[in-house]
Structure 1
Amino acid sequence: MNHPDALKPFRLGVCYYPEHWEETLWEDDYRRMREMGLTVIRVGEFAWSLFEPEEGVFQFELFDRAIDAAHRHGLKVILGTPTATPPAWLTHKYPEVLNVTHEGVTLQHGMRRHYNYSSPKYKELCAIITRRMAQQYHDHPAVIGWQIDNELNCETSRFYADADHLAFRSWVREKYQTLDRLNAAWGTVFWSQTYTDWEQIFLPRPTTAGYQPNPHLALDEKRFISDNTIAFAKIQGDILREVAPSHWVTTNGLFQHLDNHRMTDDLLDFYSYDSYPQFSTIFLDPAEEDALADRSSSLNLSAVRSISPNFCIMEQQSGGGGWVNRIDMPMPKPGQMRLWTYQSIAHGADLVLYFRWRTATVGHEIYWHGINDYHNLPNRRVREASDIGAELARVGVSIAGSRVRADIAILRDYDNEWDGEYDVWHGPFQWKSGKEWFKALQKRHIPNDVLYLREGTSLEELQRYSVLVYPHPAILRDETAALLEAYVKSGGKVIFGCRTGYKNEHGHCYMRPFPGAAANLCGITVEEFTKVMGTRKPTSMQWGEDSDALTLAPDFNDILEVAPDSATVTVVATYATDYYAGKPAVTRNAFGQGEAWYFGAVFTAAAAGRVIDALGLQSPSAAWLQLPPSVELIVREGEAGTLHFLLNYSEEAAVIQVSGERTELLSDTPLSGDVTLPGYGVMILKEK
């Protein structure tokens, strides 16, 4: 991080589009922002056609006036480079910049993100507009930072223009050096796919039916897209560092096929996320038990925190609605906007901007409601935002710079995420098990991190946690297995699920007993396995001798085998039914000072709860705080002490029990005994 204090002091702000409004509205908008406690705005990320109305002709006067006016009102400004929306003159004159679908259809002008990252001309023009903007505003006293592009890989995260095929060919040539090595990595001996000339190499193209590429090529495709996206962002990042070194640099998103960790390490001062908790409710499975709804955004925020322990929310949901051709979300109920704001802050956000100041009156997003309605009259969301602004003006200094504390981490990695998009024999399991573990931990008020295992992950990073949950790492490199062995030897506990360790980094299946690279650590082999689907009814697991201690074992079953002479492996649960009834389903292996668990199915919250209870894990505030299931607990520690954030996701009031006395930070009042937390309410308890 070039600017270690970039996220200090704590700031609350809003996304603003001066180009959408009559200039006569600006002064009143800015005045009301300050009255509401907002201190920063984001501008410019979709305004390329205004900055450069024709090639080589630059006009900054409108934004000069808008930024000068913001400065007069004491507002700070974040500038977005406008490269997510190339203007019509650009795409008309240089059609090679446009993206192409897998089927070969060129995406035309009229939406956004319709370009490709590989076009030399597009990269050249992006560099020019970025440099001219940086030169224009590098010393403006209101400007504090830059957002590169907007939501990289949103709308689409696959690219098949001619330039992309050429760039991919160069990428694989640099990666593999020889065709023999490439053919080996992609297993091209299968189905006579062997390549004999580099000119034969393309990104996946339509084959027999839609998107059905060689699976090893498909994995490398995702790696290429990530590298190519980072290279595109780096062009702008390098220019901003050169021309505006006093400003910080970030970008926003969390979308597919992008190693956000490496991008942040290489280019950014911190990462930014766009938080729309009601997105979580759009695709809820009505059959899902204890669906998390907007609470599942906390799991997303935990993943963001793994990229950047302290981060920015560049777009925080403030209203409901959607685009003209889709209905996404209802309007937040009273208190929900405040709840979602503190959800972001509790999980590590030290800069939060609402989307948006006023609902657009034109374009696709005329129903994507912001704080203000079209008519600009006072409304409930304005009042709620004002209350939040007043609170954070008082307590933000106690929050900024503090870090979330957790003793357990759910492990992820990009190899398995990207491979699992195509490989349905393990990909869907990762997300299901991760969510079920999160549910089980939430019910017990045990905060968790999400930790991405990467090539440079150190033993010390793992040792921050007493427990690691790595649900279904089908791809497990020997180096990763060795790192986990060292972690367990030193006293850590790791928990695997079915489908662990049977693939290498290319997605090839190991010719060794399952669970492959994890076999030594787990102390077991997989005797047999089966997909559970169709007429094959899910079996159950029997935990110990209690006949009522049953949990489902859905989706996939690994039937485990323990060596008869093993002195370290304990069978924790067995299968209760089917032809493998009585066979080991869950095992625990004592390894060094720690232990490795193997769970032979996809996790349910009930099964994860069994493991949690067996490990004796408890809420960090269990000794003095009792919470109902509807309330989430997150703990942040910093110079101001330890802060316990309590978030009630229910519309109904919740009763919490506080032993002794604690100070509630938002109201600056002492609390003790039974305390009522209102529906959608928030409290921050400070330890003495």
Structure 2
Amino acid sequence: MTQHPDRLIFGAAYYDEYTPAAAGPDRLERDMQMMVAAGFTTIRIAEFTWGTWNPAPGVFDFTHIDRALDAAAAHGLDVIVGTPTAAIPTWLASRHPEVLGVTAVGPNKYGPRQNMNILAPAYRHYAEAAIRALARHTAPREHVVGFQLDNETKYYDAANPDIQRAFVDSLKRRFGAGQEGLNALNSAFGLNYWANRVGAWEDFPDVTGTINGSLAAAFDAFRRGLVTDFLAWQRALVDEYRRADQFVTQNFDYEWRGHSFGIQPAVDHFQAADAVTLAGVDIYHPGEDQLTGKEIGFGGDISRSLKDGDPYLVIETQAQGQMGWLPYPGQLRLQAYSHLASGACGVMYWHWGSIHNSFETYWKGLLSQDYTPNPTYREACVVGRELKEHAASLTGLRKHNRVAIMVSNEAYTALEWFSLEAGFPRQYAGGGANYNDVFRWLYDALFDLNLEVDVVPADAPVERLNRYAVLVAPALYVTPQATTDALRAYVAGGGHLLTTFRTGVADENVQVFTDRQPHGLSGLLGLGTDQFTRPDGVALRPVGALAAALDDDGATEPATLATATFMELLTPVDAAALQGDAEVEVLAIYDHHAWSGPAIATRAVGDGSITHLATMTSPALTRAVLELVAERAGVTDWAQDLAGVVTVRRGTNGRGRRLTYFLNCSREPAAFVLPVRGHDVLGTLGRAGAVVDASTTVTVPAWGVLVVEA
């Protein structure tokens, strides 16, 4: 996986090219000395500098690259080399303006990064020349440990004519190039509506103007495939030069809402990750009093799952970051251990020294513009020292999770076209909740309960699903038959499935099914729906086991019973459609003058079960439902008793010992009775490595961490 599996990667992106002359001729040397003092092991170079070292076609000047490589080698630092293709040089845009992307609102202008058409022949030609030159020049260096392909690659909403032609060609391959194929396409996408039927392939319209969600979703899926192909293409080029001990990675990112929020709509991470040997990720999150660890959690859980549980590398995360992220004392350290607790093999900051010009001047690195040690840097020194001292305990973490959450790019796209709160495209309906809001609603509840999860794609085979006692499937709007069959087989095999509203609505062509929803699952649940609305002023009344659980949870305040976003009206399915003999167990009903049916229900199916949330519930009520499902599946333990006190993350380290992280994302100390016996790895409670006994009352400081190795 990496050259040094027995140590953790710790470092930052470094750009000698960005350093102003006023910083002095010895700035590079002083930077390296400060990195060594901070315990850095690795720097990342070369990305976003295409125009510097390739100033004209066929001209390569590796002065800055060599300066950084030589300095790193002299100070014992490893280097990750990034291909520079996410920002094109001026000469390329000038000579070949067709490489700039054309979106639904018109052609891009030069200036920003990621403004290109990644399919453009001229872009590919010059990108290949640059990648080959860079890889050829740097791969022989012993301390170059890996290559990063591009940067946060997406398709950038490009819909250039060549992309659209390639899309139409893909439809011909899928449906057939003759008239029968056109007929099949028109039927699958419902193109008779508003006279959108395509009578001849040469009449295929510009997709950017479509009002058809099926066609638009197919185009988005095709463009996600372009990203997968693009990264595979870069991997093949790099492979011609890299050594067997050099890894290949990519810094995948997530939907952006001022920070990382949910799955990335423009990339199928599970498919694109085939191009890398080491999964990489950029995770940015709220800071200061808004630091919860949830973004670190979901970002890490997805990244770890891309390679089926292998450790992943946090290639970018914040040091000082943007406004509102300046870490309180202890937070930088807590953030680093939170990444490791999710299974990361290292943490790298974006970036080392804050830049002095241009767009990201105040997205601050570890050092400010004056390059002097500051509290954030000094805390990084603590992290670096600890990671080196305790590497034997902290490396190679593997998870053994019994809960998984299923994600779907196809469902994301569909709900952009058929929004939850309006039924029309979100861009025309004033926004509102999207797929990621539903995903995070359930993920955050699981996180709060200390129920760790893996993440699986919607096309995961049942053999993969069967590893988990509980499977959560939020808003799985698009359910191809293979997915439906896998979910049914999972439940039949004893799995406990939790679904939500807007699941089992449409097939792979985003054509709504003609039976009761959720398609293929209503017979298992014993309930289905064909009516729904917005839950304005609708509350819930818990009943049965859920009411009892809420009475017994010891909360100081009752759970909020309000609903939000969407509500299905569930009614019993016909007896002929019912599968199994068990009765439906209603857990909550709508408390409303008109709507009074089940809102949350569960039903046993053999040794398995299916539970359905027909509306979006409050965090406390959602946690209660999830904990009830988890208890019945036999996956709860003492970690749930610490929910709300500390975040618990667990696994087995590289030397086969059980590792438990207790993370305190709070400005107040957290006191609790320690549920495990082992060694205090970091010395949080006293001496590093000292044995701490279970049943001892311990206190983790504000923004602190306790790591116990058993």
TM-score by structure 1 length?
0.90
Structure-2 residue corresponding to 1:439: 444
Percent of matched pairs sharing the same residue: 26
Shift in alpha-carbon separation, 1:606–1:430, aligned structure 2, 3 A: farther
Q: Please state how far the C-alpha of 1:539 moved relative to its aligned partner.
A: 2.9
Letter in 1 for 2:539: T
AA in 2 matched with 1:678: P
Mean CA deviation greater in 174-183 or 268-277: 174-183
> What do the CA deviations read for 1:537-591 (whole angstroms, capped 9, x no partner)?
2231332285987833432222222358673132323424235554233322222
Q: In the alignment, which residue of structure 2 is the partner of 1:671? A: 692
Q: Which deviates the most, 58-67 or 382-391?
A: 58-67
Give the equivalent residue in structure 1 for 2:257. Answer: none
- Cα distance, 1:194 vs structure 2: 0.9
| Corresponding residue of 2:671 | 655
Partner of 1:146: 147
Distance 1:300 1:356 in 2: 19
TM-fit CA distance, 1:628: 5.6
Alignment match of 1:558 (pick from 563, 568, 571)? 568
Residues 406-463 of structure 1 deviation map (CA, whole Å, 9 limit, x = unaligned): 2211211221122222220389364333323333333332222222222xx2323112
Question: CA offset at residue 61 of structure 1?
Answer: 2.8
For residues 250 and 191 of structure 1, the distance between their equivalents in structure 2, rounded to whole angstroms, comes to 46
The whole-number CA distance in structure 2 between the counterparts of 1:140 and 1:194 is: 58
2:351–2:366: 8 Å Cα contact kept in structure 1? yes
Greater Cα shift, 142-151 or 600-609: 600-609
Q: Deviations over 1:616-668 (max 9, x none)?
A: 53997945995361421111213341111111111111112114643211122
- Provide the residue aligned with 2:539 in structure 1: 539
1:617-656 matches, within 5 Å, as 617=631, 622-623=637-638, 627=642, 629-638=644-653, 639-656=655-672
Which residue does 1:517 correspond to in 2?
520
Alignment of 1:211-290 (within 5 A): 213-246=211-244, 247-254=246-253, 255-265=264-274, 267-278=275-286
Give, as a single letter, the amino acid of the residue that structure 2 aligns with 1:335. G
Kindly state the Cα deviation for residue 110 of structure 1 after the two structures are TM-superposed: 1.6
- 72 and 416 in structure 1: CA distance in 2 versus 1, 3 angstrom threshold: same
Conserved? CA contact 1:559–1:580, under 8 Å = no
* Residue deviations 1:244-288 (CA, integer Å, cap 9, x gap): 2432111112243111111112x110221112112899xxxxxxx
Q: Distance in 2 between matches of 1:65 and 1:660?
A: 49
- The correspondence of residues 97-108 of structure 1 with structure 2, limited to 5 A, is 97-104=99-106, 106-108=107-109
Which residue of structure 2 aligns with residue 170 of structure 1?
A: 169
The whole-number CA distance in structure 1 between the counterparts of 2:573 and 2:186 is: 38
2:686 alignment partner in structure 1:
none
- Between 1:195-204 and 1:394-403, the stretch displaced more is 195-204
Q: Is 1:122 the counterpart of 2:117 in the alignment?
A: no
3-state SS of 2:188 partner: helix
- For the structure 1 residues 365 and 441, does the alpha-carbon distance in structure 2 shift closer, same or farther, using more than 3 Å as the test? same
**Given that residues 625 and 658 in structure 1 are in contact (C-alpha distance below 8 angstroms), is that contact kept between their aligned partners in structure 2?**
no
CA separation in 2, counterparts of 1:101 and 1:630? Answer: 48
**Aligned-residue offset at 1:342:** 1.3
Using a 3 Å threshold, how does the CA distance of structure 1 residues 389 and 292 change in structure 2: closer, same or farther?
A: closer
Q: Give the Cα–Cα distance (whole angstroms) in 2 for the partners of residues 53 and 214 of structure 1.
A: 44
CA distance in 1, matches of 2:636, 2:709: 12
- Offset at 1:677? 0.7
Q: Which one-letter code corresponds to 1:274 in the other structure?
A: D
Distance 2:651 2:75 in 1: 32
| 2:639/2:648 contact within 8 Å kept | no
Unmatched runs of 5 consecutive residues or more in structure 2? 254-263, 427-432, 552-558, 684-688
Query: Is the 2:533–2:568 Cα contact (8 Å) retained in structure 1?
Result: no
Other-structure match for 1:397: 392
Q: Is the aligned partner of 1:487 residue 2:490?
A: yes
Distance in 1, matches of 2:635 and 2:3, equals 29
**Which residue of the partner structure matches residue 183 of structure 2?**
180
Q: Secondary structure at the match of 1:352?
A: strand
Q: 1:418-437 alignment to 2 at 5 Å?
A: 418-425=413-420, 428=433, 430-437=435-442
1:368 match: secondary structure: coil
Please report how far the alpha carbon of residue 91 of structure 1 lies from its aligned counterpart in structure 2 after TM superposition: 0.4
Aligned-partner Cα distance in 2 for 1:442–1:152: 28
Task: Give the equivalent residue in structure 2 for 1:20.
Answer: 18
Q: Distance in 2 between matches of 1:624 and 1:179?
A: 56
Q: In structure 2, do the counterparts of structure 1 residues 504 and 280 end up closer, same or farther at CA, with 3 Å as the change threshold?
A: farther
Which segment is superposed worse, 174-183 or 506-515?
Answer: 174-183
Whether the aligned pair in 2 keeps the contact of 1:81 and 1:148 (CA below 8 Å) is yes
- Aligned pairs for 1:522-601 (under 5 A) are 522-526=525-529, 528-532=530-534, 536-544=536-544, 551-562=561-572, 567-601=581-615
Query: What is the identity, as a one-letter code, of the residue corresponding to 1:77?
Result: V
Q: Which residue of 2 aligns with 1:76?
A: 78
Q: Distance in 2 between matches of 1:683 and 1:249?
A: 33
Q: Distance in 2 between matches of 1:625 and 1:507?
A: 39
The aligned amino acid for 2:410 is D
Distance 1:649 1:113, change over 3 A: same
Q: Name the CA distance, whole Å, in 2 between partners of 1:590 and 1:431.
A: 29
Aligned mates of 1:423, 1:7 — CA distance in 2: 46
Query: Partner of 2:76: helix, strand, or coil?
Result: coil
User: Separation in 2 of the partners of 1:335 and 1:563?
Assistant: 55
CA contact (8 A) 2:285 2:291 kept: no
Map 1:323-334 to 2 at 5 A: 328-334=323-329
Which deviates more from structure 2 when the two are superposed, residues 442-451 or residues 556-565? 556-565
3-state DSSP of counterpart to 2:661: strand
Query: Does structure 1 retain, via aligned residues, the 8 Å contact 2:319–2:365?
Result: yes
SS at match of 2:390: helix
Instruction: Spell out, residue by residue over 1:481-524, the C-alpha distance to the aligned partner (whole angstroms, 9 max, x if none).
Output: 22122211221100111222121111111111222222233232
